[in-house]
Chain A
Amino acid sequence: MTLIFEQLLNGLLYGVMLFLLAAGLTLIFGIMGVINLAHGSLYMVGAFVGTWVANESGHFWLGLLAALPAAMIAGFIVELVVMRRLYSRDHLDQVLATFALILIFNETTTIIFGRQPIFSQLPDALATPIEILPGLPYPPYRLLIILAGLLAALGLYLLINKTRIGMLVRAGSTSREMVRALGVDIRLLYTAVFGLGALLAGLAGFMTGPVLAVQVGMGEQILLATFVVVVIGGVGSIKGAFIAGIVLGVVDTCLRAFLPGMLATFMPGPEAHSLGIGIASMGIYLLMAIVLLFRPKGLFPVGG
Chain B
Amino acid sequence: MSRTVSIALGLALVILVLALVPPISQALGERSFPSLVARIMIYAIAVASLNLILGYGGMVSFGHAAFFGIGNYVVGILYYHHAEGVPLWGIIPGTDQLLITLPAAVIVAGIAALAIGAMALRTGGVQFIMITLAFAQMLYFFFVSLQQYGGDDGMIIRKSNQLFGLNLRDKMVMYYVILVIMVLFFAALWRVVNSSFGAVLAGIRQNERRMTALGISTYRYKLYGFVLAGMGAGLAGGLMAVFLRFASPDTLHWTESGELMIMVLMGGVGTFFGPVLGAAAYLFLQTYLSAWTEHWQLVFGLILLVVVLGTRGGLSGLLSRLTRGRS
- Please list the residues of chain A having a beta carbon within 8 angstroms of any beta carbon in chain B: 29, 35, 82, 85-86, 90-93, 95-97, 99-104, 106-108, 110-111, 220, 224, 227-228, 231, 235, 270-271, 274-275, 277-279, 281-282, 285-286, 288-289, 292-293, 296-298
Contact = CB atoms under 8 A, between A and B. Distances in A.
B304 A103 contact: yes
B141 A282 contact: yes
B93 interface: no
A286 B62 CA distance: 16
Given A227-B130, A296-B122, A99 B262 contact: yes
User: Which 8 pairs across A and B sit closest by C-beta, in order of nearness?
Assistant: A278-B145, A103-B301, A107-B298, A100-B304, A104-B301, A285-B134, A281-B141, A100-B305
Given A282-B141, A285-B138, A95 B258 contact: yes
B147 interface: yes
Contacts of B60: 90-92, 95
Nearest to B139: A282
A111 B295 CA distance: 8
A38 B130 CA distance: 15
Interface majority SS (helix, strand, loop, mixed), chain B: helix
Nearest to A281: B141
- Which of A102, A278, A298 has the largest number of chain B CB atoms within 10 A? A278
Secondary structure call for the A interface: helix
A296 B295 contact: no
Interface residues of B, number: 42
Interface of B: 54, 60, 62, 119, 122-127, 129-131, 133-135, 137-138, 141-142, 144-147, 151, 254-255, 258, 261-262, 265, 269, 295, 297-298, 300-302, 304-305, 308-309
A91 B60 CA distance: 8
A298 B142 CA distance: 25
A82 B262 CA distance: 17
Contacts of B308: 93, 96-97, 100
Contacts of A274: 144-147, 151
A292 B123 contact: yes
A71 to B, nearest CB: 19
Given A96-B265, A282-B138, A296-B127, 9 more contacts: A93-B308, A97-B304, A100-B304, A102-B301, A103-B301, A107-B295, A275-B145, A289-B134, A292-B131
Given A92-B54, A106-B297, A288-B131, A101 B305 contact: yes
Nearest to A29: B126
Contacts of A227: 130, 133
A289 B298 contact: no
Nearest to A86: B309
A108 B138 contact: no
Contact of A297 (B127, B141, B145, B302): B127
B134 A99 contact: no
B145 A289 contact: no
Nearest to B255: A220
